[in-house]
Structure 1
Amino acid sequence: MGAAMRRIQAGNVLSAFGLGFTVPYLYVYVAQVRDLGATTAGAVLGVFAMAALAVLPFTGRAIDRRGPLPVLIGAAGLAAVGALGMGLSTVMPAVVLSAALLGAGTAVMQPALATMIVWCSATETRTRAFAMQFFLQNLGLGIGGLVGGQLVDESRPDSFLLLFSIEAAMFLVLVVIAATVRMPRTASIADARPENTEAKARGGARALLGDGAMVRLCVLGFVMFFACYGQFESGLSAYGTEAAGIAPSTLGVALAANTAVIVLAQFLVLRFVERRRRTRVIAAVGVIWTVAWLFAGYAGLGHGSQAMATAAFVTTYGLFGLGEAMLSPTVAPLVADLAPESMVGQYNSAFALVKQLALAVGPAVGGPMGAALHGPYVVTFVLFSLGITVLAVRLGGRLTQAQDHPYLAARSRVVAEHRPERPVEAPAAS
């Protein structure tokens, strides 16, 4: 990695470390520590998500016009204010306002960081750059959650103030690190982008919606995030406790297994992933997640022993982690390679918005189903996972070789560049 990429990845892991301190304990903090009740805690989590949905539609244009660096610095500063405000708040209006600032800031940071990674990488190195980002994010979240769990004490509100203060400090460190990054003058993404770049850049959202491949990828992304991330802490947790009889403490073990698989498998699967068509990798993830949901079905509907049900449920989370490790170096670079050079921020923000929508709709749909409609819940998400495979295969027909199989495209260019020229024959003597 170059110096700019090292700084970006360092800021990425520090921000994830800060989030890991507080995200697992946000509900408990509002409902119990501040004694504002479960309703207020649910509203705060809703505001956290709604703030992200409110700012993401405007984020992409700001990134493309001002550059990702000032947008990242502003977002990190906003998140720092929200985190510190959350730790100091004791009444509902202050808690809700702080949650809105924190949610908006962290949401804007995602496409800004992604655009910086695109600007500092080439098509050949982008897959590994995004794999490293995902690896560091999960590592930071996991370590932050573990350390935060050792510091938190529900009987001492000042312990939560310490957690939120550390989170705010991490965001401010990100501001300092980002301020030292020297971005290249132009984005190095010319190898695989749609035609009519300038016309598309002028069109803004209309141009994005007119890009059939990007629209299909957004639909695919919604299905992926809805079927996986949107169920982790809502529907699948409710299904595990109600249908499979999983103890609440086992949910923590399952999430830890998910993180462990991501951390251990990320670079093991990278060589396999980067040498194959991206859409085929995504299709394979759909198959893996189908198997994961079948394990979940066995856990809750198989009528086996409690030990077998627990093992199957933990395996479900592990298989989800394997799929995530395969997607991280695949989907984000594909978004970048679809984007016109002057619309990278808008494409990244649009995909982040799709993810946020799925994370908002997923719990609303999956939570009640997972708690009460156990059989239909599993069948529904088996079908969604198979849908991922179908949509990915169909997307492959809309992509160029450079977009879908950059490794093979790069090798073809190298062969073409080094092919010896045919010697010119001398004219025959008369």
Structure 2
Amino acid sequence: MSEVFGPKPFGSGPGDFTCPREVNVTTATSAALRRIQLGNALSAFGNGFTVPFTFIYVSQVRGLGAGTAGVVLATLAVAALIVLPFTGRAIDRRGPVPVAVVGTLLAATGSLGLGLSGSEPLVIAAAASLGAGVAVVQPALATMIVWCSTTATRSRAFATSFFLNNLGLGVGGLLGGMLVDTAHPSSFLRLFAIEAAMFLVLGAVVAGTRLPKAPRLGEAIPGKERSASGNGWRVLLADRSMVTLCVLGFVMFFACYGQFESGLSAFAVEVTRISPATLGIALAANTAVIVLAQFVVLRLVEHRRRSRVIAGVGLVWTVAWVVAGASGVVHGHHAAAVAAIISTYALFGLGEAMLAPTVSPLVADLAPERMVGQYNAAFALVKQLALALGPAVGGVLVGAGAYDAYLVMLVVCSLGISVIALRLGRGLTAAQDSPLRATRVVAQSVPKPQVEETLPA
């Protein structure tokens, strides 16, 4: 990792020359990136303490019922949808640091409020603050990562961030499960207090981070006009590649993340007939694959065309849904059914590891320099829409017992990911679709200086 994020040594090879000032700038930028990723990991660690237990806390511990718990979860999503359209413009006008700090304060207030609130209005208000804060923080952090990376390092930067997020969530969830006790509401207050503290730590880390004065995107798309004019949303909607990527993102999040806690888990319990404890093992397998395979996958995909890697994710997830369907067919053979469900979650993890170094860097490389925040926020908005509609559609189909229709829908969505990704690739430049390969080709094409030889008289 150090050879990617660290500065190139001064005079490291024949003909190499890196001025001391450039080394210092690169070192400072690398340090800023590490701070951002560490703070992000600590925030995810805090999230892990509460995310698996929010529904149980509101419905059972506070005694507000399943209906109110559902409203709380919906409020988290709705609050995000409300603030995201304005977040991108704020990031581009004010910079990502102050926006991220405001987001962490909102999130910390909401998290602590959830732990202290005992009435329905207060719980819903706290959820709104938490949802809005998290929604603001995500595109701000993504923009900070873009500012602290280059074309050559961006894929690894986002992959590292994704790896640390999943590691933090997994460890936090494990420790939260050890601390929680439904018979003692104070144990839940402890969980929400830890989450709030981690948000404040993230805010402090971000506030103390010194970023470059401008995003480092100029080399990403040689020859492309990087300064767009006109209304931000109008410019974005006129960018055919970005619109296609947003459609692709919606299908991806709908077919995978949007099903984890709704349709897929219900299918596993009701059709495959596995126990909730086994479902927890399957979720752990998903996280384990991401944590263990992320950098192996990164090595395999970072020199390949991003559009084809994303198309490969669609095929991997198609196999995952077929395996899930097979688990329902062989539910009479318990061991085989359990293995199939665990394999399904593991395959989803493999696909997620393939997406981490491709999709977010591609959003950055499509964005004009003055609209990085707006592009990140727009993609986050699409993601949030998919995460809101995915559980709703999946829950309705599974609740109605339409399991065949449910699986067919998701197999079609997964194949659609491959089709849309290949279509997207046809509209991308070489530098956008495979930046490392394009950079290598450009470097090889630069003529070496000719030295005139002087012959003795």
SS at match of 2:245: helix
- The range that moved more, 374-383 or 57-66, is 374-383
CA distance in 2 between partners of 1:303 and 1:36 (Å) = 36
Q: Which of 438, 444, 455 is 1:415 aligned to?
A: 444
Quick one: distance in 1 between partners of 2:404 and 2:411? 11
Classify 1:280/1:70 alpha carbon distance in 2 versus 1 (closer, same or farther; 3 Å): same
- Report whether the alignment pairs 1:5 with 2:39: no
1:301: Cα distance to partner? 2.7
Write the mapping of 1:247-266 to structure 2, written as runs, cut at 5 A: 247-266=275-294
Kept after mapping to 1: 8 A contact 2:218/2:226: no
Mark the CA change 1:398 to 1:330 in structure 2 (over 3 Å): closer, same or farther: same
Deviation at 1:119, TM superposition (A): 0.2
Secondary structure of the structure 1 residue equivalent to 2:280: helix
Paired with 1:258 and 1:61, the residues of 2 have a C-alpha distance of 35
Matched residue SS, 2:295? coil
Unmatched 5+ residue regions in structure 2?
A: 6-29
Aligned length: 424
Moved over 4 A (4+): 421-426
Encode CA deviations 1:169-226: one digit per residue, 9 max, x unaligned: 111111111111001011101123494433x243300000000000000000000000
- Bigger shift: 265-274 or 298-307? 298-307
| CA drift at 1:422 | 5.9
Contact 1:237–1:251 under 8 Å retained in 2: yes
Matching residue of 2:131: 103
1:332 is aligned to 360
The alignment status of 1:232 with 2:250, answered yes or no, reads no
Match of 1:362 in 2: 390
Is the CA contact 1:130–1:333 (under 8 Å) kept in the aligned structure 2? Answer: yes
The aligned residue for residue 197 of structure 1 is 226
Once residues 366 and 220 of structure 2 are traced to their aligned partners in structure 1, the CA distance between those partners, rounded to angstroms, is 7
Identity %: 63
Q: Tell me by how many angstroms 1:346 deviates.
A: 0.2
Q: How far does residue 303 in structure 1 lie from its aligned partner after superposition? A: 5.3
Q: Which residue of 1 aligns with 2:186?
A: 158
1:386 aligns with 2:420: no
Match of 2:87 among 59, 67, 77: 59
- TM-score, normalising length from structure 1? 0.96
The equivalent residue for 1:306 is 334
2:374 counterpart SS class:
helix
The one-letter amino acid of 2:434's match is: H
- Paired with 2:273 and 2:42, the residues of 1 have a C-alpha distance of 36
- 2:177 paired with 1:142: no
Match for residue 80 of structure 1 among 90, 97, 108: 108
Deviations 1:78-114 (A, max 9, x none): 1011111110000000000000000110111110000
Cα–Cα, structure 1 residues 28 and 201, in superposed 2: closer, same or farther, change >3 Å? farther
Secondary structure at 1:202's aligned position in 2? Answer: coil
Is the contact made by 1:11 and 1:174 (CA closer than 8 Å) also made in structure 2?
A: yes
C-alpha separation in 2, matches of 1:36 and 1:303 = 36
Q: How far did 1:312 drift?
A: 0.3
**Contact 1:201–1:340, Cα closer than 8 Å, also in 2:** no
Task: Answer whether contact 2:248 2:420 (CA < 8 A) is retained.
Answer: yes
What is the CA-CA distance between 1:282 and the residue it aligns to?
0.3
Question: What value does the CA root-mean-square deviation take over the aligned residues?
Answer: 1.4
The answer for unaligned runs of 5 or more in structure 1 is none
Match of 2:247 in 1: 219
Q: In 1, are the aligned partners of 2:156 and 2:298 still within 8 Å (CA)?
A: yes
Contact 2:271–2:331, Cα closer than 8 Å, also in 1:
no
Aligned to 1:268, the other structure's residue is in SS state helix
- Partner residue in 2 for 1:47: 75
Give yes or no for contact 2:148–2:211 (8 Å, CA) kept in 1: yes
- d(CA) in 2 for partners of 1:414 and 1:180? 36
AA paired with 1:254? A
Distance 1:151 1:52 in 2: 29
What secondary structure is seen at the aligned counterpart in 2 of 1:103?
A: helix
Once the two structures are TM-superposed, the CA of residue 259 in structure 1 deviates from its matched residue by: 0.2
Q: Are the aligned partners of 1:300 and 1:374 in contact in 2 as well (CA < 8 Å)? A: no
Equivalent position to 2:318, from 244, 265, 290: 290
Matched, 1:132 2:140: no
Shift of 1:152: 0.6
